[in-house]
Structure 1
Amino acid sequence: MSTAAANTDSSSAPPAHVRVIASPQSWIEGEAVRQLEAMARLPGMRLAVGLPDLHPGKGAPVGAAFTSEGFFYPYLVGNDIGCGMGLWSVDLPARKAKAERWAAKLDLEGPWSGDVEGFLQEQGVKASGFELALGTVGGGNHFAEVQRVEAVHDAEVFAALGLEADRLMLLVHSGSRGLGEAILRAHVDRHAAGGLVEDSEEALRYLARHDHAVAWGRANRALVARRVLDGIGAQGQRVLDVCHNSVTPRRVEGRTQWLHRKGAAPADEGPVVIPGSRGALSYLVAPVGDGLGSAHSLAHGAGRKWTRTSARERMRERFTAESLTRTSFKSHVVCENKDLLFEEAPPAYKPIDRVVTDLVEAGLVRVVATLAPVLTYKTRSQEE
């Protein structure tokens, strides 16, 4: 073992405690559990938690959180460091939504035409070299979605967030674009999936770049929101912003533990939104409990049920691309990449109601409100 990287030959390491938070009614793929258990055998691992949206990833599962001591693992964070979600309250009444008109003209492709340097200074974030992508949603499961309030379940918390039931909302899911990928690639080129010894020079260097990507990702979501709001002729106020892919230190009984989240929302930063597919409700929830058994983490979405390849094949047999630009909520979907449209179709995801119910029954959250889609923006580009 070098001074910087942990040996990943973990056959002799005692496994961390493994916990999967899901009811018998929830379908969790066996490969996702196998990946979770494999990560639990990494040196220094103490806890590996699979959340109700757990599904297989590239070597490590998504919808999971891990704690370790002595080492941390950039590979568990992945290539979209700082990916997360921000929620904005919009100053338009839901009755004034013009989804069809907005869908026809809203375009977030290409570099933002505004003052990028000034915007980053306003956000308190340094430039990264990836500013041509700043203010863009990205591919995969990223989106910007105008929503309406379907129902309020906890009026007190809802009001404390400054929200009004008759107003539109805006949910933005995006990350650090190419920045996080460049950071992970630099680590993998040197250490493959190996971890870093805490306080080593390489660990400190990675953490500095990681923290920059987290801040840049948050700024990216803010600019995506600004572009959407400008496009629909509205103003908005950010209500919350949380990160789903990160590694952070926590002091536990005088020791430092490293909390890795890979597709997991924080349970220690106040309310969060857990979205379903573009054809399902999103849930605004408030964390409850001490968070110890869940690694201070929550599900970050519905979680994939089908692989992208399987979704393309299945959905092409059942639907036309045009039919998938409307949902059962009568909302509109902007996605001109047909492959992505099929890959991200609602049936490709687990039922969000079941995911949230699992969290409620586990004593991890209470539901504050449900939000219904009005307009979901994915991409204008026909190529990813």
Structure 2
Amino acid sequence: MTGASIRIISSDIGRMDPLALDQLAQTARLEGIDRVVGLPDLHAGRGIAVGAAFWSPDMVFPHLVGSDIGCGMGLWETDLPVRKFKLDAAERKLRGLDEPWDGDADAALSGAGLAPGLGDAALGTIGGGNHFAEFQRIEQVIDGDRFDALGFRADALWLMVHSGSRGLGQAILDAWTRRDGSAAAEAATEAGTTYLAAHDHAVAWAVLNRDVIARRFCEKLGLAAERKLDICHNSVTAHEGGWLHRKGAAPADKGLVVIPGSRGDFSYLVEPIVDRGAEALYSLAHGAGRKWSRNDAHGRLSKRFRPAELERTALGGRVICEDRRLIFEEAPQAYKDIGLVIRDLEEAGLIRGIASLRPLLSYKTRRT
């Protein structure tokens, strides 16, 4: 067995982590995988490279999607002019957001076509790891005509939310792993259809979760907001008669995409160039991608910085993160240069830039 074809989207493969490339090659050797794409944010994960897409003609591989099914990014334009956004006041008001949502969870779940009580205790909460909510401003309008045609406001305060299916996705993967380990299933079998149904519920839950998170944050600051996009980057979907698995890969066939940098770097609003999408399995980078593992980041940075020093960024932004380990693990230094990731996608003819966004206030977790 020679394995699947592999394409790496990068102008300099020497920048790629050898471990991530090895993980990608191992996945390409799985029986049933036909095509593999590594994106510019490719980095090593827990046995599976992150920043990649995998296509199978007839099989679904739950372990390639992972535990955070439906994880993705949402972007909202608020009704507040950015000049009226007061960092000190916002930082004071953003409290209680790690606690369970006090809204009508059953009504929200029902409205999304989900069963009442499904993960309701976690609904509206960000979660750990690299998840966050971030208030931003437009730094640069790259394509003014397209920006205006979309009806966007350059003077508005924006909100980006990165979160997923919380414990629901983990439970789905755990149930599969206990029964089948890392095995795949033919999509048309009972096992395959059962997994796909649970997966789709987790994706819908994750979309709703991001929406409730945005609602909670805006309510704390007295804002109204309109969602401009929501993209999922951990999923398996029907594609060209087979099954496309995205592990930390944004879709290039669902409209606009926001690609975040670290909390100390810019994010980019881009439009996929669909005519070239097939070359990359209609997938894009979902962020900057890790440069250091979490343990490495903590080990390197905890010796150089106090936590308070990482609550301010080089771009003048602020960070709310009261988990003393997480603030080191998720520091900007632990991530790749988002500018290089965007450049690689542009040079591959996969995207056109619309605007860049500057982080103003990043929220990860608060104890009180």
Give yes or no for TM over 0.5: yes
Q: Deviations over 1:135-167 (max 9, x none)?
A: 000000000000000010112322233310000
Which of 102, 107, 115 aligns to 1:118? It is: 107
Deviation at 1:204, TM superposition (A): 0.4
Deviation at 1:27, TM superposition (A): 1.7
Using the alignment, how far apart are the partners of 2:159 and 2:204 within structure 1? 20
Match of 2:206 in 1: 217
Which of 250, 275, 280 aligns to 2:239? It is: 250
Using the alignment, how far apart are the partners of 1:298 and 1:236 within structure 2? 26
SS at match of 1:31: helix
Match of 1:345 in 2: 331
SS at match of 1:184: helix
Q: Is the 1:125–1:219 contact (alpha carbons within 8 Å) kept by the matching residues of 2?
A: no
SS at match of 1:54: strand
SS at match of 1:280: coil
Deviates more, 1:236-245 or 1:110-119: 110-119
Match of 1:287 in 2: 272
Answering whether residue 262 of structure 2 is matched by residue 241 of structure 1, we say: no
SS at match of 2:325: helix
For 2:284, the aligned partner's letter is: L
**Structure-to-structure mapping, 1:319-334, within 5 angstroms:** 319-334=305-320
Using the alignment, how far apart are the partners of 2:312 and 2:118 within structure 1? 37
Answering whether residue 45 of structure 2 is matched by residue 60 of structure 1, we say: no
Which of 147, 168, 173 aligns to 1:158? It is: 147
Q: Deviations over 1:299-353 (max 9, x none)?
A: 0000000011110111112211001111122111110001000000000000000
TM-score, normalised to structure 1, is 0.93
Which of 233, 242, 245 aligns to 1:260? It is: 245
Q: Equivalent pairs: percent with the same residue?
A: 52
Question: Unaligned stretches of 5+ in structure 2?
Answer: none
Using the alignment, how far apart are the partners of 2:113 and 2:311 within structure 1? 37
For 2:89, the aligned partner's letter is: R
Match of 1:373 in 2: 359
Closer, same or farther: CA 22–249 of 1 in aligned 2, 3 Å = same
TM-score, normalised to structure 2, is 0.97
Answering whether residue 263 of structure 2 is matched by residue 278 of structure 1, we say: yes
Match of 2:321 in 1: 335
Match of 2:57 in 1: 69
Deviation at 1:26, TM superposition (A): 6.5
Which of 280, 284, 289 aligns to 1:298? It is: 284
**Structure-to-structure mapping, 1:1-40, within 5 angstroms:** 13-24=1-12, 27-40=15-28
**Structure-to-structure mapping, 1:127-138, within 5 angstroms:** 127=116, 129-138=118-127
Question: Unaligned stretches of 5+ in structure 1?
Answer: 1-12
Q: Is the 2:276–2:349 contact (alpha carbons within 8 Å) kept by the matching residues of 1?
A: no
Q: Deviations over 1:201-256 (max 9, x none)?
A: 010000000000000000000000000100111000000001000001123xxxx2
Match of 2:71 in 1: 83
Q: Is the 1:85–1:242 contact (alpha carbons within 8 Å) kept by the matching residues of 2?
A: yes
Q: Is the 1:26–1:354 contact (alpha carbons within 8 Å) kept by the matching residues of 2?
A: no
Answering whether residue 93 of structure 2 is matched by residue 100 of structure 1, we say: no
Match of 1:196 in 2: 185
Q: Is the 2:106–2:117 contact (alpha carbons within 8 Å) kept by the matching residues of 1?
A: no
Closer, same or farther: CA 128–39 of 1 in aligned 2, 3 Å = farther
Deviation at 1:131, TM superposition (A): 0.9
Q: Is the 1:103–1:333 contact (alpha carbons within 8 Å) kept by the matching residues of 2?
A: no
For 1:181, the aligned partner's letter is: Q
Q: Is the 2:69–2:199 contact (alpha carbons within 8 Å) kept by the matching residues of 1?
A: yes
Using the alignment, how far apart are the partners of 1:26 and 1:228 within structure 2? 41
Q: Is the 1:149–1:166 contact (alpha carbons within 8 Å) kept by the matching residues of 2?
A: yes
Using the alignment, how far apart are the partners of 1:162 and 1:212 within structure 2? 32
Q: Deviations over 1:98-136 (max 9, x none)?
A: 122211220211110111112223333334631111000
Using the alignment, how far apart are the partners of 1:35 and 1:315 within structure 2? 26
RMSD: 1.3
Residue-pair matches, total: 366
Deviates more, 1:190-199 or 1:279-288: 190-199
